[in-house]
C-alpha cells in the first residue's frame, strides 16, 4: 500500500483553523510527516505566503519532493534546529508554528523502522536513520540502572527494574537485535497488564522516546517557536502522550502568566510585566467522527497559544 495513503493526519481542520492563516503570512510546519498539514496550510496561503517545514525522517524528506510548490521549503533537521534553520533561511519572524508531536503511522507501519512489536524486524526505532544509534546498540551497552530509568521514566512502567534485569540476563547469551526478541522477553517478564494492551507497549514507547530524545527536543523547541512568532502569531501543538502534553501545558501556562516579581517590590499594576503568550480556547480532542475513522487519534490533544507584544523571557519548557 502506498505509504502516503496509510497516513491519516490527525486534527487536520482544527489545527489549520487554529493557525488563523493570513494569505501573505509565513508559517512553520515543524513535523512534515507525509504533508497533510502542510498541504492544508498551502491551500490557504496566497502567492506571497511561505511555508517552512521540518522533518528528521529521510522517508518524510523523500515524500516532500512530491510537493512541488515555490512557496514551500523542507528542512531535513529535527525541530530543535528551528531557530537556527530559520535564521539560515533569512526568516526573522513567522506568523504561526504547528507541531504535531510523536511517531507517525508510516513509521509505526514500516517493519524496517523497528518501532512496533507487530513485526519481527531489526530493533532500530530511530526517526532519523542517518544519525545516532539504534536501540539494539544502546541496549547492548546500557547498565541495568540506565535501562530501568528509561523504561520507568519514559514508559511509566512499574515493572521497569524487572524488565531491565531480564534484558541484562538475555544479552549475556546473545544480543537483543530484533523487535520480536524484545517483545517476547518483556511479555515473559510482565505477567499482568491493562486489558487489551500488549505487555511490551510501555517498554517500546519508552525506548523510542529516549533514543529520539523526543521530550528534550520538545522542551528545546517550544521557546524557539515563541521567540520567532510575530505579535498575534499562533503556536499550535498536538500531543499524543501525557508526558509530551504535560510539557506543552506547563510551558503555555507559565508564559501566559505575568513574570514573577520579587516579593514586596513596589510597582504599579499598569507597570507590571505582561505575559508573552495568551491561551486560545480550551484543549481540543478528536471528534467522534474522527475517532471512528482513525482510532489512533484517540490520544491526540491540541493546545493553542497566541503571541502578545510583550517581551519573551525565553527559557526551557
35 among the known binding-site residues?
yes
**Inter-residue contact 258 to 231 (CB < 8 Å):** no
Q: Tell me whether residue 55 is annotated as binding.
A: yes
Grid cell 505487555 is found at: 199
CB atoms within 10 A of CB 131: 10
| Lookup result for grid cell 530543535 | 80
Contact 222, 166 (CB under 8 A): no
Q: Can you tell me the distance from the alpha carbon of 4 to that of 73, in angstroms, rounded to the nearest whole number?
A: 19
Helix axes 144-155, 160-171, angle to 10 degrees: 140
Kindly compute the dihedral angle of the four CA atoms of residues 33, 36, 41, 44, in this order, to the nearest 10 degrees: 160
Q: Tell me: is residue 137 an annotated ligand-binding position.
A: no
Known binding residue 204? Answer is: no
Which residues are bridge partners to 52 per DSSP? 28, 73
Does 314 carry a binding-site annotation?
A: no
Is 107 annotated to bind a ligand? Reply is yes
User: What is the enclosing helix (H) or strand (E) of 236?
Assistant: strand 229-239
Query: Residues within the annotated binding site?
Result: 35-37, 55, 79, 100, 107
Query: Residues within the annotated binding site for S-adenosyl-L-methionine?
Result: 35-37, 55, 79, 100, 107
Amino acid at each position: 500500500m502506498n505509504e502516503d495513503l496509510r497516513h491519516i493526519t490527525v486534527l487536520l481542520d482544527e489545527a489549520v483553523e487554529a493557525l488563523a492563516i493570513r494569505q501573505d503570512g509565513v508559517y512553520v510546519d515543524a513535523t512534515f510527516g507525509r504533508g497533510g498539514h502542510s498541504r492544508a496550510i498551502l491551500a490557504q496561503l496566497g502567492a506571497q505566503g511561505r511555508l517552512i517545514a521540518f522533518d528528521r525522517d529521510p522517508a518524510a524528506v523523500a515524500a516532500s519532493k512530491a510537493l512541488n510548490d515555490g512557496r514551500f521549503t523542507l528542512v531535513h533537521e529535527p525541530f530543535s534546529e528551528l531557530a537556527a534553520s530559520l535564521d539560515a533561511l533569512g526568516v526573522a519572524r513567522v506568523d504561526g508554528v504547528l507541531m504535531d508531536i510523536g511517531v507517525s503511522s508510516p513509521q509505526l507501519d514500516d517493519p524496517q523502522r523497528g518501532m512496533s512489536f507487530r513485526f519481527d524486524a531489526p530493533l532500530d526505532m530511530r526517526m532519523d536513520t542517518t544519525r545516532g544509534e539504534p536501540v539494539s546498540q544502546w541496549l547492548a551497552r546500557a547498565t541495568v540502572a540506565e535501562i530501568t530509568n528509561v523504561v520507568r521514566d519514559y514508559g511509566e512502567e512499574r515493572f521497569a527494574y524487572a524488565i531491565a534485569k531480564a534484558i541484562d540476563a538475555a544479552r549475556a547469551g546473545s544480543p537483543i537485535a530484533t523487535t520480536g526478541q524484545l517483545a517476547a522477553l518483556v511479555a515473559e517478564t510482565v505477567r499482568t497488564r491493562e486489558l487489551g494492551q500488549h505487555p511490551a507497549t510501555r517498554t517500546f514507547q519508552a525506548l523510542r522516546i529516549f533514543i529520539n530524545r523526543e521530550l528534550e527536543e520538545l522542551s528545546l523547541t517550544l521557546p524557539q517557536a515563541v521567540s520567532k512568532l510575530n505579535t498575534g502569531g499562533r503556536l499550535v501543538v498536538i500531543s499524543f502522550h501525557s508526558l509530551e502534553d504535560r510539557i506543552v501545558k506547563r510551558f503555555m501556562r507559565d508564559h501566559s502568566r505575568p513574570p514573577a516579581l520579587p516579593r514586596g517590590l513596589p510597582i504599579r499594576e499598569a507597570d507590571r510585566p505582561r505575559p508573552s503568550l495568551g491561551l486560545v480556547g480550551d484543549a481540543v480532542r478528536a471528534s467522534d467522527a474522527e475517532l471512528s475513522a482513525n482510532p489512533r487519534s484517540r490520544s491526540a490533544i491540541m493546545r493553542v497559544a497566541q503571541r502578545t507584544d510583550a517581551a519573551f523571557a525565553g527559557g526551557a519548557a
